[in-house]
């Protein structure tokens, strides 16, 4: 059953918010973290996409550790331990549990992530503009790799494809559950 934004808001209002440590054991390869960026770039992305989220990243279990892999604007492919990622995050985050077809292909997703790492994928601000233009005109344009198009490629390995050019908020609609995460301490 898909979680609506209103239900997630009510969970947050009632104080049902988890820390990374509390939710870590529930996360599977292919699940995502949605970010509501409060910085300049995050606010611009949210304004241009008319979405609540400005960034999406992918969880994966690798060698017994939980990692986050992502495409970062101006940087490209980035991967780090999830605990470190959450310690460094200043923004509001939501863990999204991927649909079952995505969660049952962890080896394919790990291979995809490792190939992205080896290829040293880049992400330019021009690519972000191309995604916005694609959404504005309602046509899929060759956009390269931004956070949402990259995660959508991973999810496609499980048979789930988002119609059109995805933005971070599009993933929330497909998650089986969304859980707000608060900073530790």
The list of the chain residues with pLDDT below 50 reads 1-2, 10, 12-15, 185
> What percentage of the chain carries pLDDT values higher than 90?
41
How large is the C-alpha radius of gyration of the chain?
A: 15
Supply the pTM of this predicted model.
0.82
Whether the Cβ atoms of residue 176 and residue 135 lie closer than 8 Å to each other: no
Whether the Cβ atoms of residue 47 and residue 78 lie closer than 8 Å to each other: no
DSSP codes of every residue in 1-15: -PPPHHHHHHHHHTT
Tokens found for residue 2: 């898909």
Q: What is the pLDDT of residue 29?
A: 98
CATH topology of domain 5-181: endopeptidase fold (from Nostoc punctiforme) (3.90.1720)
pLDDT in tens, 82-136: 999 999 888 788 899 999 999 999 999 999 999 999 988 777 666 667 767 776 7
């Amino acid at each position: 059953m898909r979680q609506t934004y209103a239900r997630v808001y009510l969970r947050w209002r009632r104080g049902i918010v988890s820390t990374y440590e509390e939710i870590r054991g529930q996360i599977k390869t292919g699940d995502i973290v949605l970010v509501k960026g409060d910085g300049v770039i995050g606010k611009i992305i949210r304004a241009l996409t008319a979405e609540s989220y400005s960034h999406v990243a992918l969880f994966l279990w690798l060698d017994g550790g939980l990692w986050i892999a992502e495409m970062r604007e101006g940087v490209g492919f980035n991967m780090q331990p999830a605990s470190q990622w959450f310690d460094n995050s200043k923004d509001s985050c939501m863990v999204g549990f991927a649909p079952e077809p995505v969660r049952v292909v962890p080896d394919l997703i790990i291979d995809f992530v490792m190939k992205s790492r080896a290829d040293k994928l880049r992400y330019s601000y021009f690519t972000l503009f191309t995604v916005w233009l694609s959404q504005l005109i309602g046509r899929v344009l060759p956009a390269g790799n931004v956070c949402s198009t990259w995660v959508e490629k991973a999810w496609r390995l499980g048979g789930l494809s988002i119609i059109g050019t995805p933005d971070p908020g599009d993933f929330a609609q497909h998650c089986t559950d969304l859980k707000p995460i608060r900073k530790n301490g």
